[in-house]
Structure 1
């Protein structure tokens, strides 16, 4: 094709001229025919054989230049400014390759600012794959779309219904959906108030806070002026006012059905029934259910670390009852496939793992011979581990967390005694600093960043398992006591999700336990959650969010009737 393009540029052996608004483009019919069925029909059916000059309507000279250059080179200089225009032109003239290039580009450019315009574009210029991606993006970033996207206010009532009735709409709070409806109606109140009851019926009222329902929704003009909205609200409020703990089961399904959760807590691997396991369970706070995942870990492992980064779960180090691992495996949540990545420089079980600024850090642990004070970090882009400064003392069976771009590690075991020391790492200077000691020695401790503090929970003090917890304030370099867990435990999973601090499983002193509890700093109280399906200790927990296939991981109560139109269904609707 470079030969033909050279002839075109020299205007040699050209047998056609494409004219657009006075601009003329010399070309070869056979090249343009190969590019698009439109040109083939134009040259062979819609004109006489001796015709050389063709006037093409509905396209600018600059876009026609791009089309012809694409026909000869297969390359198109796509930008944010021209991609949608070229998409329309490629669709109109049936230039399949250019259309796919535009779709691929627009998909990569999806953002809260443009996802609705791209979705609406595919209403007119149909491309099911791009349409599917655009609506998925809007559903996954709904709050940002409502706040930042001017096109949100221009949606039709039917388009807004399609979004807010979807079970795949991801919001942390259902109040976000209600307030979005109010914002949309307020933009053109006289025209849109007739849709109030239709839109209100798509809001999952039973998943809103009872206080918000009573103080905000109940007093809104929307409810006061619409008998239909008032009736729907009462269907939800009456069971709440009757003090029913399971009031959602008394509310009609359309108002009480849960949506896909914005995040899930994964419990990965661990030690159960005297041996390590590869099982992964996922916890959904909205349904208070644990679900077994089909994508079990690549190997049996316990005393490892698990973290979530850029759509993947990484399992780091660990122990299979025979060998201490240096290996690292990555689970791609989108494809549900495992891949082994570069191993660490050292074998590490009882390892502490966290993420800081896109890097995975692995600290301390036990290599089968000694407790380690060494540390290293992993960069996913280069697939390389790099040694960093060593900690002040060896630590296995410690735990760590990230707060304000600093890494904190607490407690552990140095081979002689359980530790109450803690230290902080600054990635910018590659330096460790000892911080104030905890009030208790804690090995097998759970450490998490929560409410601008570092929480150290449970563990083993050398004598017994602990139920106590304490919180570190970096501003004052002090620890303070917080309420104790109901269950004493060590070697458990710990994570923060939905503004709650979760403690999962562990060893209770006699046996492994399945118990799950969470701490709410607003009430300063620990609550019980549903137990895991199996008892296990030496597990690792992490919170995942963002994958478009969240339904593959969520509770069956969320997925049994979830529906997003498939590409085939979309095509039938068109």
Structure 2
């Protein structure tokens, strides 16, 4: 700070910068240390006697920020100056400021601002900034399409975005409609690009009714000969898939290759007919397939809990056929390594688990002797478990979920009977509060928050396995009936993925099962999905998302390398 004090007192300054009518007295040595531009200006582009320099095409305010950074290492970046500051910092090669501007731009990314940042990254050649902004655009594409800057995308950037396997869209129709929006912004000039853009849509993944009504009948598409070839290939693919009944992930054609999802459902462990298993598999909803997950942990376990937090799956408690566990293991999904972390205070088989405010909660269970009402909380930052208030009832084989900043736990077994009761936990007051009973006794129930309510699915009454479902409204403190599952099941996995509720595996009263099904609240319909590789009950499910290596947990995309290549479609004569 000595040089800054000298500058403020105009002492020993040996250069004057003229910027937009303002004079700045500076020390050449300080600016040379900050910027190669000024090093060249003072050492190569002038004589040692020169001490007055005009700096054109720069505002005095931006120059003031540069000088402050050169002397103090501190840069003041605001929404008003960031654009000019970044441009000037790139011009003067002040890497400290350009890096700071990049970080600010990344921190403030939004669907409305990201495309302007992408243009900046392209124009000034900042590949790392472009890479991260491009990833943001892929993830938030459907929101980005609604931004004013979307129609300003170049055809090259737009094409790269919509052809990418990591493009996050629920339906391929959204990609086609984005093309229409972009072209219609300047129809007469851009309509010629339809033959270049349409091959990037996974046409054969579209709903057949939408494809017939909106793509085939689109006048711009119909009048383009190359597009007609794409449509013919798509119709043939749709026919082949329907006849062969094969998973779409096995078809190599780019028109039907599923995009890599942002999230997958992971099924961990469980009881496979006569013994527990360590098997892990993930459900890729885009490819509609279960994928085995590489797993170096040889510890089989059932009746455990699993949660996804900060890129890792935490697995706690459970039973290996002999011992009830208090241990917890952490599986880092990025580097695929296992780590044993702090154990719980109590062994907990048939445990219920939930996430709240970045902490893991383990509630109830069976320690080998007693059914438990105790509960504890794990804080990842300190790697410590802390006991919290006990529940109002002993509960093993219950299920829990987080909703509206509270944890809800339902059903279970108290050592004597299956329970219809439920309660909620407030972490701010460390108190459990009883809520309305379910309409059925449910042990081995699965509970999750879904569509603004708490869903209690399946379970065991003490006499029979259930396929019934009920939903709890916290505002009315009432349960209501929901359409039943296709299959009765208890001790199964549950999760919400892409706004649909999944029920996975379980015990149907006779055997462990492989089947899985999902519920769409909009239609009120349960539908079967692809079976798991192995039958199992007492498994635990969680949804993992936003991993840098998401493709590792998805079905293999045939010819994935083609995603950056042009699609070769024969012309139609």
TM range (shorter): 0.7 to 0.9
Q: Equivalent residues in 2 for 1:469-488 (5 A)?
A: 469-474=468-473, 475=476, 477-480=478-481, 482-486=483-487, 488=488
Report the equivalent of 1:554.
554
Distance 2:558 2:299 in 1: 29
Q: Map residues 4-83 of structure 1 onto 2, 5 A cutoff.
A: 4-83=3-82
Distance 2:434 2:185 in 1: 54
Residue 269 of structure 1 corresponds to which residue in structure 2? 269
Q: Deviations over 1:415-452 (max 9, x none)?
A: 2222233334566774422313333x332222233445
| Alpha-carbon shift at residue 80 of structure 1 (Å) | 3.2
Indicate conservation of the 8 Å contact 1:266/1:283, yes or no.
yes
Q: TM-score, normalised by structure 1?
A: 0.86
What is the alpha-carbon distance in structure 2 between the residues aligned to residue 88 and residue 383 of structure 1? 45
- Residues 168 and 562 in structure 1, CA contact (< 8 A), matched pair in contact too: no
Matched position secondary structure for 2:302? coil
Indicate how the Cα distance of structure 1 residues 384 and 559 shifts in structure 2: closer, same or farther if over 3 A, else same.
Answer: farther
Residue in structure 1 matched with residue 366 of structure 2 by the alignment:
366
Query: Could you list the runs of 5+ residues in structure 2 that have no partner in the other structure?
Result: 566-573
Distance 1:312-1:115 versus aligned 2 partners, 3 A rule: farther
For each residue in 1:80-122, what CA deviation from the matched residue of structure 2 results, as whole angstroms up to 9, or x when unmatched?
3333332222221112222222222322222212211111111
Match of 1:145 in 2: 144
In the superposition, relative to structure 1, how do residues 69 and 325 fare at CA in structure 2: closer, same or farther (>3 Å)?
A: farther
Give 1:222's aligned residue.
220
Q: Please name the residue that 1:351 is paired with.
A: 351
Q: Which residue of 2 aligns with 1:569?
A: none
Specify whether residues 387 and 146 from structure 1 end up closer, same or farther in structure 2 by C-alpha distance, changes over 3 A only: farther
Q: Are the aligned partners of 1:483 and 1:524 in contact in 2 as well (CA < 8 Å)?
A: no
The CA deviation string for residues 518-558 of structure 1, in whole angstroms up to 9 with x for no partner, is 34456655443333334433221112233343223222127
Contact 1:455 1:469 in 2 (8 A): no
CA distance in 2, matches of 1:95, 1:203: 42
1:233 paired residue number: 231
Give yes or no for the alignment of 1:90 onto 2:89. yes
Judge conservation of contact 2:252–2:559 (CA < 8 Å) in 1: no
Partner of 1:536: 536
**Distance in 1 of aligned mates of 2:8 and 2:120:** 34
Residue 178, structure 1, aligned to residue 179, structure 2:
no
Is the 2:249–2:258 contact (alpha carbons within 8 Å) kept by the matching residues of 1? no
How far the C-alpha of 1:51 sits from its partner, in A, is 1.2
- Deviation of the 1:194 alpha carbon: 1.6
RMSD: 3.4
Q: How does 1:257-296 map to 2 (within 5 A)?
A: 257-272=257-272, 277-294=277-294
CA distance in structure 2 between the aligned counterparts of 1:125 and 1:325, rounded to whole angstroms: 56
1:267 is displaced (CA, Å) by 1.3
- 2:121 maps to 1:122: yes
CA distance in 1, matches of 2:536, 2:249: 32
Cα shift readout 1:371-390 (whole Å, capped 9, x = no counterpart)? 22233455667777665554
Q: 1:201 aligns with which of 199, 212, 215?
A: 199
Per-residue Cα deviation, 1:332-380 (whole angstroms, up to 9, x for no partner): 5556566666665544332212335655443322334422223345566
Which secondary structure state, in structure 1, belongs to the residue aligned with residue 41 of structure 2?
helix
Alpha-carbon distance in 1 for matches of 2:322, 2:74: 55
Give the match's secondary structure for 2:200: coil
Q: CA deviation at 1:316?
A: 4.0
What secondary structure does 2:396 align onto?
Answer: coil
CA distance 1:64–1:278, shift in 2 (3 Å): farther
Partner SS, residue 349 of structure 1: coil
The equivalent residue for 1:111 is: 110
Residue 65 of structure 1 deviates from its aligned partner by 1.6
Contact 1:272-1:536 within 8 A present in 2 as well: yes
- Relative to 1, partners in 2 of residues 1:401 and 1:15: Cα closer, same or farther, differing over 3 Å? same
Which secondary structure state, in structure 1, belongs to the residue aligned with residue 460 of structure 2?
coil
CA separation of 1:250 and 1:225: change in aligned 2, threshold 3 A: farther
Contact kept? 1:279, 1:296, Cα under 8 Å: no
Q: Matched residues in 2 for 1:334 and 1:79: separation? A: 35
Deviations, residues 31-53 of structure 1 (Å, cap 9, x unaligned): 22221222221122111121112
Give per-residue Cα distances to partners, 1:469-493, cap 9 Å, x unaligned: 222242572442633433x443221
3-state SS, counterpart of residue 533 of structure 2: coil
Q: Number of residues paired by the alignment?
A: 560
The corresponding residue for 1:568 is: none
1:445-460 map, 5 Å? 445-460=445-460
Give the CA deviation at 1:174: 1.3
TM-score w.r.t. the length of structure 2 is 0.86
Aligned partner of 1:570 in structure 2 is: none
Is the alpha carbon distance of 1:203 and 1:532 closer, same or farther for their aligned partners in structure 2, counting shifts above 3 Å? Answer: same
Give the aligned partner of residue 409 of structure 1: 409
> Mean Cα displacement is larger for which, 531-540 or 23-32?
531-540
Does structure 2 retain, via aligned residues, the 8 Å contact 1:406–1:425? yes
Change over 3 Å in CA distance of 1:325–1:42 after alignment to 2: farther
Q: Distance in 1 between matches of 2:309 and 2:209?
A: 35
Q: CA separation of 1:285/1:408 partners in 2, compared to 1, >3 Å: closer, same or farther? A: same
Note if contact 2:420-2:437 (Cα within 8 Å) is conserved in structure 1.
no
- Whole-Å separation in 1 of the counterparts to 2:563 and 2:278: 31
